[in-house]
Chains A and B, each alone.
Chain A
Amino acid sequence: MIRILPKNLIAQIQQKGKKNLSEVKDILDQNATSVVSFSAPQYSSLAFKIKNAITFPFNKEIHSLARFSDYLDFNIIGFYDSKYAGQIGRTVMSIIGNNLHGNDLLIQNIDTIDWESNFDTIILGHVTELSQVCGKDYETEIIKKCKVYNKQIYSLRDIRTHELIGDNKVKFYCPYIDQPTGPIINKMYSIGKPVLGVVGTSSRQGKFSLQIELKHEFKALGYNVGYLGTEPTSLLYGIDAVFPMGYESAVYTKGLSSVYAVNHLMGSIEKKQPDIIMFGSQSHTIPKYTGGLQHYPVVQHELLLGCQADAYILCISAEDSVEYIRRTISYLEGIYPSKVIALALSPLENTLRWSVLSHKKKLISKEVEIMTLEKMREAFNMPVYSWNDYNQLKELAENCISYFSD
């Protein structure tokens, strides 16, 4: 609420001696020429506990959950997929590769779920495309079953308007940021904690995995990390807030409203008194091509404006040109007085064919890794890490801390 006050009123109140907060508010209300209500951004919060979850389908977001399952405060007791993805009967490890953290469950057929078994939540990944090509409405089927068997749903897509959801008979969560319903206050949080952004030069670099690993390393070094995620799975990792701007985005704000929403989320994180606040962006940061609107990173720009990072880690890929990385660094360091303190080389090659649902993630060869690290260190005269190597990841985390300590 904003009170529009006559000139000098505050000085007059001060001259009249000490007043408590309630008395001051009364005087302000009585003397205001007008009182304007403002609305805060509307966003989702996770209102239920998860103990034992199952997941469907077994795609990119779920791979990360499997990879970092020991960072979760609940158990994943089953991974399910459509038979058409060709993964039924395979072990989780055989699909996601180097599984340092997870278990080794088998992928099971979604049509064979025992709905009476002891899971309490289904983590429902992106199924829109899968449903279209299979001619089967997985989302509706799952919501129906969850209502019958009293299971909770954590959906990565915004399902609030689904016809079966409206009667409040199923507990569900889905991430969203809604447009404020009224005027927004023209004031921004000034974040007093160090803010570190993890951004990239393209999609599918493993940026989210890097963030999760960094969060873990910062914690191991004794730092309390506040974290704004952009993946719809963010809250499952105990991340403080989510701005779900990626695939099937549920960010309904645009332009200044988005900047306001991001800043508001950052402010809410700062109130928890972390030592450092980290956020991660999606995909690329500046246009690499200009031939299609998908190459214009407008939402990423809004995120960066709202977060006001002090420092960045820029994820790069082996196939990125020096010129493209240089342009990205200039942009990041230009919009605010920020610094790109390190480059993190993605362990993944960007020529993935089975990218949406499946498992063909190709690691770069050791030769390419070494060659790229040398080339980038020489070109940019800054630390360049291969974060797939645990020692280098640890060094990267320590480098971030020492940058903010200095």
Chain B
Amino acid sequence: MINTLDNKVDQIKILNAMEENGVIYYSEYEDSPLDMDSMTFISIIVSLENQFEIDISEEFLGKIPKTFQEFMKFASDAVSNARLR
């Protein structure tokens, strides 16, 4: 899923936001459940907003991803959506 992101820089920023908060992405585990608590999730979202200088809308944050694959799609969609607004 990560390879479908348009921009290599964006991919790295998303991975950085995860790593900064203790979540390491391995493509072979992308179907695994997200082993993070709510605070880690919030920390990653705040990091994404800071790295991309965007404001992720509250409607978008209502769809909490359950796997790494879903999270990568969620992050990439959130960034694209915020840029369009």
**Partner-B contacts on A (CB < 8 A):** 82-90, 109, 129-130, 133-135, 353-358
Contacts and interface: CB of A to CB of B under 8 A. Distances in A.
Interface residues of B, number: 19
Contact of B61 (A88, A134, A357): A88
B6 interface: no
Given A130-B39, A130-B42, 5 more contacts: A89-B58, A129-B39, A133-B39, A353-B36, A355-B38
B19 to A, nearest CB: 16
Counting from the closest, the 7 A-B pairs by CB-CB distance are A83-B58, A88-B58, A84-B42, A357-B38, A86-B61, A358-B38, A133-B43
Given A130-B42, A133-B42, A357-B42, A86 B35 contact: no
Contacts of A87: 62
Interface of B: 34-39, 41-43, 45-46, 56-59, 61-64
A353 B33 CA distance: 11
A84 B61 contact: yes
Contacts of A88: 58-59, 61-62
B37 A135 contact: no
Contact of B46 (A84, A90, A355): A84
A89 B59 CA distance: 8
Contacts of B45: 84
Task: Give the interface centre of A83, A134, A357 by most chain B CB atoms within 10 Å.
Answer: A83
A87 B63 CA distance: 9
Contacts of A133: 39, 42-43, 46
B39 A357 contact: yes
A133 B20 CA distance: 12
Contacts of B41: 86
